[in-house]
Amino acid sequence: MKLGFLTACLPDWELDKIADWAQASGFQALEVSAWPAIDDRPFTAAHIAVEQLSPEQATDLRGRLDERGLVISSLAYYENNLHCDPESRAAVNAHVRACVDAAALLSTPTVGTFVGRDITKSVAQNLREGEVVLPPLVEYAAERGVRLVVENCPMQGWHPDAYPANLAYSPELWDWMIGLGFYLNYDPSHLVGLGIDPVTVLRGHVGKVAHVQAKDIEVLPGAINRYSFFGKTLEREGPWDHTWWRFRMPGLGEVNWSRIIDVLYEGGYDGVVSIEHEDPIWRGADDRILNGLKIAQRTLAPLLTA
């Protein structure tokens, strides 16, 4: 396995600057953010313009990363492929295809996205609609030698009542989306926040894990007793302020990383473990973000064997 990180935590940096720091810091991989453009939303970045990427540019980029001993583990575009607005859905679907085209040019094995949800419809209605909308995306990727991987994040911030808005948050739904041809971008932190044992469920699905994101979670003392398992209702200060927990860097939360890595090895996973930096304690100035990545590296690197 190789250790890398998702570049979205450094939205204002050029990709070459990120690669220089990653090389100097001992990382082996980058999960490159590929949103259409930088905007004011958290956790998004545009580090590669996939629509404009030519074969010559892809060859040049691969060469620059090869010189630094880095691989691109995945192109990251986590958006709602079942958006309730038809124009928004079409735009997301189209950009997923553009990411697939770029991944094929870059010899990058996966593109990361979400299933999403039409929040105006029931889960059952979404599943039936997803069975029509999503397979063409999977087929488009497969024809180009790319796998679509879905992160198991609930994305409650997309729902007005903070209910799950990415229908890939439980092993039951993993089986459904795997049946459509998707692979799993496994992130254990979300499972802890849903009361699911991340080690036990990984054992049953490790064969369909094509990418791993490393993020931890810290339960806030007493918060669940006020807000319930479903989180905040009246005291929310924004769409993402709903939880009785907070994300942390690996090693600073509840996830047992030695067991997770052991199960991945036992199951034959030999891909990339990509740090997803959403820790509020280690955000802000660039030096804090970089120190957060180093904290995660100190936890994970000793567990990995290249």
Q: What is the mean pLDDT of residues 60-65?
A: 98
> For the chain, what is the mean pLDDT?
95
Enumerate long-range contacts of 172-176, CB under 8 Å, 24 or more apart. Answer: 173/115, 174/205, 174/208, 176/127
Q: Percent of the chain scored above 90 by pLDDT?
A: 87
Per residue in 240-290, pLDDT (tens digit) is 888 888 999 999 999 999 999 999 999 999 999 999 999 999 999 999 999
pLDDT in tens, 2-36: 999 999 999 999 999 999 999 999 999 999 999 99
Query: How sure is the predictor about 39, in pLDDT bands with cuts at 50, 70 and 90?
Result: low
Structure confidence at residue 42 (pLDDT): 72
Lowest mean pLDDT among 1-5, 138-142, 235-239, 266-270: 235-239
What's the pLDDT score for residue 38? Answer: 65
43: confidence class by pLDDT, cuts 50, 70, 90: confident
Query: How many domains in the chain?
Result: 1
Query: What is the pLDDT averaged over residues 33-52?
Result: 86
Domain CATH for 196? 3.20.20.150
Residue 117 sits in which domain range?
2-303
